[in-house]
């Protein structure tokens, strides 16, 4: 019986929990308000960041056939040009890039997409960085276009010489038709080659992308509730320990 009474005395009922909570309600409110106010202040202090997007249409050597795959273009930018620009920015400004730079390829397109998140004060720096990346890519593709055109022109010149020699030969009708067909194909491929195009450079998003002040506020409320409950029961625990120590000292 004594063991059962001792066990019952050591247990805390829901009524006891409610009593503790009500007795220390102001501590709960104080801690909760502290976290909420802190979260609001933190959210308001965060600078507003916007997304800046640039788009580049890769040069085409045939219909729906880019001069270079978007994946390779992105890999070249990441491995060659971006490190150079990052080092240059650090040397010129004494700090690392204050914005992110992400490269991607929208699905089912031959576009290269460059996006950055930055405060408006850095918008010009973002656009300058994007422009240098795109100009590098544009020059690279112009070089590839020249190579493709020269290759096609060489083949076309060879076909033209063959055609001229066949015209002077007797009974060359079938061969002439085949060579002329090849000539038309090469001329068509040559005419389909098109240069790359800068579609958009540093277009700013209509709405900010960060910070998400509502999410920060909600997080502060949730964390505040948790710590407020902990504070209440830790305070009650400390009070009981002090009471027990005081009773022991009196005896």
Q: What pLDDT is recorded for position 192?
A: 86
Q: pTM above 0.85?
A: no
Q: What pLDDT is recorded for position 12?
A: 62
Q: What pLDDT is recorded for position 250?
A: 74
- Asked if 40 and 215 touch (Cβ cutoff 8 Å), the reply is no
CA distances from 25 to 13, 199, 218, 223, 235 (A): 18, 60, 21, 17, 11
Q: Of 101, 79, 74, 61, which is closest to residue 194 (Cα–Cα)?
A: 61
Place of tokens 């005896």: 251
- Asked if 201 and 132 touch (Cβ cutoff 8 Å), the reply is no
Determine the Cα–Cα distance for residues 194 and 58; give it in Å rounded to an integer: 9
Residues 6 or more apart whose CB falls under 8 angstroms from that of 60 comprise: 66, 67, 110, 192, 193, 194
pLDDT in 10s for each residue of the chain, 251 residues: 444 444 444 566 677 777 878 888 898 899 999 999 998 888 888 888 999 999 999 998 877 789 999 999 999 999 999 999 999 999 999 999 999 999 999 998 999 999 999 999 999 999 999 999 999 999 999 999 999 889 988 888 888 888 777 776 665 567 777 778 888 887 888 888 888 899 999 999 998 888 788 888 899 999 999 999 899 888 888 888 888 888 787 76
Determine the Cα–Cα distance for residues 182 and 188; give it in Å rounded to an integer: 10
Residues 6 or more apart whose CB falls under 8 angstroms from that of 64 comprise: 110
């Amino acid at each position: 019986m004594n063991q059962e009474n001792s066990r019952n005395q050591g247990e805390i009922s829901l009524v006891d929990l409610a009593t503790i909570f009500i007795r220390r309600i102001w501590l709960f409110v104080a801690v909760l308000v502290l976290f909420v106010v802190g979260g609001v202040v933190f959210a308001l202090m965060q600078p507003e960041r916007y997304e800046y997007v640039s788009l580049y249409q890769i040069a085409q050597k045939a219909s729906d056939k880019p001069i270079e795959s978007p994946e390779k273009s992105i890999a070249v930018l990441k491995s060659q040009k971006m490190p150079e620009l990052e080092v240059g920015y650090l040397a010129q400004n004494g700090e690392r890039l204050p914005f992110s730079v992400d490269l991607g390829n929208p699905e089912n397109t031959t576009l290269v997409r460059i996006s950055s998140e930055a405060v408006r004060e850095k918008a010009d720096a973002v656009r300058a960085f994007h422009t240098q990346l795109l100009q590098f890519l544009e020059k690279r593709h112009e070089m590839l276009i020249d190579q493709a055109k020269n290759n096609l022109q060489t083949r076309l010149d060879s076909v033209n010489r063959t055609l001229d020699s066949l015209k002077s030969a007797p009974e060359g009708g079938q061969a002439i038709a085949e060579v002329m067909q090849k000539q038309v194909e090469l001329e068509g491929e040559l005419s389909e080659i098109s240069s790359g195009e800068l579609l958009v450079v540093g277009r700013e998003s209509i709405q900010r992308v960060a910070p998400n002040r509502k999410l920060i506020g909600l997080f502060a409320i949730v964390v505040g509730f948790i710590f407020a409950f902990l504070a209440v029961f830790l305070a009650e625990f400390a009070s009981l320990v002090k009471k027990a120590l005081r009773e022991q000292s009196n005896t």
